[in-house]
Amino acid sequence: MTPEEPLLDLDDIQGNIFPGFNKDHQTFKFLVIADVAKARQAVASLLGFISTSTSVRQFGLLRASIKAQNGGAASGLSAIWMNLAFGYSGIVKLADEATAKQIGGGDEVLKSAFEVGLAARSPLLGDPSDPATDGHPSTWSIGKPGSAPIDVVITIAGDQRDDVDAFSKELDVRLAQFATAQGQLALQPVIADLQGDTLGGDLNGHEHFGFKDGISQPAIRGRRKSAPDTFVTERILDPNSSLAGAYARPGQVLLWPGQILLGQLRQNGSSPQPLPPQQLPADWIRNGSFMVLRLLEQDVPGFWNTMSSYALNVLGRNDDKALDWIGARIVGRWRSGAPITRSPNMDDPSFIDDNRIVNDFGFRNAGIKPSLIKGQPPLPDLPLSISDPNGDICPFAGHIRKVNPRDDAVELGAPGEVLARLLVRRGVPYGPAYPDPRHAQPDGNRRGLVFVSYQASIERQFEFLMQNWVQGNDSPRSGGGRDAVLGSHGAAAAGLGPTSIRITGQDGAQHDLPQLTNFITPRGGGYFFAPSLSGLATLVGMK
């Protein structure tokens, strides 16, 4: 029996951690603490503006209910959200070094990833290790070694760009009030604000290569502290069905909250029994989460040029349909987001129209039609997931199969171990969109993804996924190749060795295609800690 799920205080948790802002427009401010005492006051003055899980969740429910009523049209609702996180250096300044060390799980002998930071960890993630190579931390625009440390990150998110900009300006005015006698700002911008915006039009919700993004997100187990009879994430599976204990909705796995939030019950593989909460060095750390931010530049023409060459190799042609077919193998989903193990031969947006369908697929085993709780409309009659144990439909190097192998055999033992590596993603694109990415030509603009994830452990989750599965030729599948989208393939991957992807053509012939080109260039970022609301209050009240 699964034990009772814990009560979560949603008023204490920052809303981008759970359930996620999910806004089209975001601005990130990167600040250094120039005066600790005044900075405490400045941060304290922001606490009332921090968006909690309660607010963000309620907004989502209201929006869903309006959309259900108006047949899926825009809800017309608009909100501005704000969250805060701190770099290691920021925690050292506001708390102390010993606490900052312990937050990341390190100590005097062993430094944690949080302590040494993203730039130092960069080569471990597969980034270029040669300073002469573009993408090396010395070329970064955020978090470049030797630049001022990023002590504080402010995330502002909204439904309209104008609203986000207006709020951002108000925030600047507010922060300008906290200055030293010499007129020095307590919280100073390290770099210009970073803007991220959805791509607009038909590409809303898609990333720059053209694929629907952010579809698969795990759900968190737990009940609302303010209403213990309700789960924090809606459950729509028939409680008597075999899947109900593991999924919130078809294909959306349930994770114990300690997978994302510190101090909570943790995921224990696929066991229904959670692991006890991690020991915390201080109580104020509970309900906080680590935030990873990476600025990932995408080479859209380069990506589709490679797709074209793969298409010629596998299909003997490179028309748009051929490009789409190959692109779907590389990603594991069609551009619409439809999973290829459910629709192997053609894109079918009807899979994406229903959030009870879009994540309900596996790789190794055939799908089972889920039974839903009473009151749920019947599921659309669409083909179930096809068993693909040998990677004939979705290659083992296909992006979504690498970063979330689902029911595949994994080198860690059992597929349940995958659950203990998952994280929640809160990214947003930046830069101008190409109208049709498949035919993009270099235009001199920089574009990509502001990758943001939250997790309870940077090492066990984000870094594990990057180091072992994205950049690993042999894991989770021996000989499977590196991640066809995110992997380091080119000359910059010296030390990782050659890699290839095996694609099975429509005629059943297998093609081993060398992976030679990087489509992603890291442009910076950092590792941060996003405390709870009570934790923030404690942090600014210290000393």
**Residues lying near other proteins in the complex (CB under 8 A):** 102, 105-107, 109-113, 116-117, 119-126, 129, 266, 268-270, 275-276, 278-279, 364-365, 389, 407, 409-417, 420, 459-460, 463, 467-468, 471-472, 474-475, 478-479, 495-496
In 5-115, beta strands by DSSP E? 7-8, 25-33, 80-86
> For the purposes of burial, counting CB atoms within 10 Å of the CB of 208, is it exposed (0-12), middle (13-18) or buried (19 or more)?
buried
Spatial CA neighbour of 291 closest among 536, 421, 118, 144: 118
Based on CB atoms, which residue is closest to other proteins, 93 or 101? 101
Q: Which one, of 189, 212, 196, lies nearest residue 161 by Cα?
A: 196
Contacts of 264 (CB under 8 A, 6+ apart): 6, 8, 222, 256, 257, 258, 277, 286, 287
Question: Closest CB to other proteins among 216 and 471?
Answer: 471
Return d(Cα 323, Cα 304) in angstroms, integer: 8
Nearer to other proteins, 269 or 505 (CB): 269
* Cβ proximity to other proteins, 108 vs 507, nearer residue: 108
SS3 assignment, position 231: strand
CB nearer to other proteins: pick between 409 and 516:
409
In the complex with other proteins, which residue's Cβ is closer, 102 or 287? 102
Nearest-approach distance from CB 263 to other proteins, in angstroms: 12
Contact of 325 with 394, CB cutoff 8 Å: no
Q: Which is nearer to other proteins, 73 or 109 (CB)?
A: 109
Residue 117 CB, shortest distance to other proteins, in Å, is: 7
Cβ-contact 298, 451 below 8 angstroms: no
Contact 379, 369 (CB under 8 A): yes
Q: How far is the CB of 11 from other proteins (least distance, A)?
A: 27
Contacts of residue 258, Cβ cutoff 8 Å, sequence gap at least 6 = 264, 265, 266, 267, 274, 275, 277, 278, 456
Nearest distance from C-beta of residue 479 to other proteins, angstroms: 6
* In the complex, least distance from residue 526 CB atom to other proteins, rounded to whole angstroms: 13
Residues 159 and 166 sit within 8 Å (Cβ to Cβ): no
> Which CB atom, from 228 or from 389, has the smaller least distance to other proteins?
389
Q: Which helix (H) or strand (E) holds 298?
A: strand 289-298
Residues 6+ apart with CB under 8 A from 7: 222, 223, 224, 225, 228
Q: Give min distance, CB of 368 to other proteins, in A.
A: 11
Minimum distance of other proteins from residue 193's CB (angstroms): 27
CB of 356 to other proteins, least distance (A): 23
Least gap, CB of 174 to other proteins (angstroms) = 35
Nearer to other proteins, 283 or 319 (CB): 283
Rounded Cα gap, residues 403 and 427, in angstroms = 15
